[in-house]
Chain A
Amino acid sequence: MIEILTTGLPNTVQDLGRPGHLALGVSHGGAMDKQALAIANLMLGNDPSAGGIEVALHPFRLRAHIDTAVAITGADCAVSIGDRPCPPWWAMTIRAGETLVLEAPRAGARSYIAFAGGIDLPPVMGSRATDVKGGFGGFAGRGLSRGDRLALKPAQCRLPAGGIGAALEERRGAADALASAIELRVLPAAEFDAFTPEAQAAFTGSEWRITNDANRMGYRLAGETLSLLSPLELLSHGIVPGTVQVPPSGQPIIQLADANTCGGYPKIATVIEADLWRLAQAPVGARLRFSAVSIEASTEALRANRQQSHDFIAARNLMAGEQRAP
Chain B
Amino acid sequence: MVVGTPHISLAGSGALLLDGMQGAFNDATQELVWAVANAALSLEGVREAVPGMNNLLVVFDPLATDAHSVGDQLMSLWSATDAHPVTGTHHTIPVHYGGARGEDLTGWAAHCGLSVDETVRRHAAARYTVAAIGAMPGFPYLSGLDPLLAWARRSTPRLKVAEGAVIIGGAQAGIMPMTAPSGWHIIGHTDVKLFKAEAELPVLLRPGDKIRFAIAGIEA
What would 15 A/B residue contacts be, using CB atoms closer than 8 Å? A124-B198, A125-B202, A134-B195, A135-B178, A189-B9, A236-B141, A237-B17, A237-B53, A237-B55, A240-B57, A240-B59, A243-B11, A295-B10, A299-B62, A299-B66
Question: Contact: B63 with A22, CB < 8 Å?
Answer: no
Partner pick for A236 among B134, B138, B203, CB 8 A cutoff: B134
Q: Identify which of residues 125-139 in chain A touch chain B, using a CB-to-CB cut-off of 8 Å.
A: 125, 131, 133-137
> Which 3 pairs, one residue from A and one from B, show the smallest C-beta to C-beta distance?
A238-B57, A136-B197, A262-B134
Asked if B27 is at the interface of the complex by the 8 Å CB criterion, the answer is no
Given contacts A136-B197, A239-B57, A302-B63, contact A22 B134 (CB under 8 A): yes
Decide: A236 and B135 in contact? CB cutoff 8 A: yes
> In the complex the two chains form, is B202's CB within 8 Å of A188's CB?
no
Among residues of A, the one whose C-beta sits closest to the C-beta of B66 is A299
A23/B47 contact (C-beta < 8 A), A270-B12, A295-B67 known: no
A252-289 near B? 1/0 per residue, CB < 8 Å: 00000000111100010011110000000000000000
A-B pairs with beta carbons under 8 A, tally: 147
Asked if A190 and B12 make an inter-chain contact with CB atoms under 8 angstroms apart, the answer reads: no
Q: C-beta contact mask, B40-53 vs A, less than 8 Å → 1, else 0?
A: 00000001111111
A151–B19 alpha-carbon span in the complex (Å): 46
Contact between chains at B203 and A24 (CB < 8 Å)? yes
A235 lies within 8 A of chain B by Cβ: yes
Given contacts A189-B9, A238-B57, A298-B62, 5 further A-B contacts (CB under 8 A): A136-B198, A190-B9, A242-B12, A295-B13, A299-B62
A19 proximal to B (CB < 8 A):
yes
Q: Nearest Cβ in chain B — how far from A23, in angstroms? A: 5
Q: CB-CB < 8 A to B135: which residues of A?
A: 25, 236, 260-263
CB of B25 within 8 Å of the partner chain: yes
What is the bound-complex CA distance between A189 and B14, given in angstroms?
Answer: 12
1/0 per residue B56-70: CB within 8 Å of A? 110100110011000
Complex Cα–Cα for A231 and B47 (A): 33
Is B139's CB within 8 Å of the partner chain A? yes
B37 CB-CB contact with A under 8 Å: yes
Name the distance in Å between A129's Cβ and chain B's nearest Cβ: 12
**Which residue of the partner chain A has the closest CB to B139?**
A25
B99 within 8 A of A: no
A302 x B62 contact (CB < 8 A)? yes
Chain B interface residues toward A at CB < 8 A:
7, 9-15, 17, 19, 21, 25, 37, 47-57, 59, 62-63, 66-67, 132-139, 141, 177-178, 180, 195, 197-198, 202-203
- Whether the pair A23, B49 counts as a contact (CB closer than 8 A) is yes
Expressed in whole angstroms, the Cα–Cα distance for A298 and B178 within the complex equals: 36
Indicate whether A221 reaches chain B with its CB closer than 8 angstroms.
no
Indicate which residue in B12, B21, B132 contacts A262 across the interface (CB closer than 8 Å). Answer: B132
**Which residues of A are interface residues toward B (Cβ below 8 A)?**
19-26, 124-125, 131, 133-137, 141, 187-190, 235-240, 242-243, 260-263, 267, 270-273, 295, 298-299, 302-303, 306
A108 CB, min distance to chain B CBs, angstroms: 23
Q: How far is the CA of A240 from the CA of B14 in the complex (A)?
A: 9
Chain A: minimal CB distance from B145 (Å): 14
Give CA–CA (A124, B200) in the complex, Å.
Answer: 10
Closest to B55 in A: A237
Report whether A187 and B62 are in contact in the complex, using a CB–CB cutoff of 8 Å.
Answer: no
Contact B50 A23 (CB under 8 A): yes
Looking across the interface, which residue of chain A has its beta carbon closest to that of B153?
A264
Q: Which of A21, A25, A141, A298 contacts B12 (CB 8 A)?
A: A298
Point out the residues of chain A lying under 8 angstroms from B15, CB to CB. Answer: 240
| Nearest chain A residue, comparing its CB with the CB of B21 | A235
Give bound CA distance, A26 to B133, whole Å.
Answer: 9
In the bound assembly, the distance between CA atoms of A21 and B134 in angstroms comes to: 10
A261 to chain B: closest residue by CB: B134
Interchain CA distance A46-B210 in the complex, whole Å? 46
**B36, chain A: closest CB distance, angstroms:** 13
Of the residues A25, A261, A263, A270, contact of B10 by C-beta under 8 Å: A270
Q: Which residue of B lies closest to A262 (CB)?
A: B134
Chain A residues whose C-beta falls within 8 Å of the C-beta of B203 in the assembled complex: 24-25
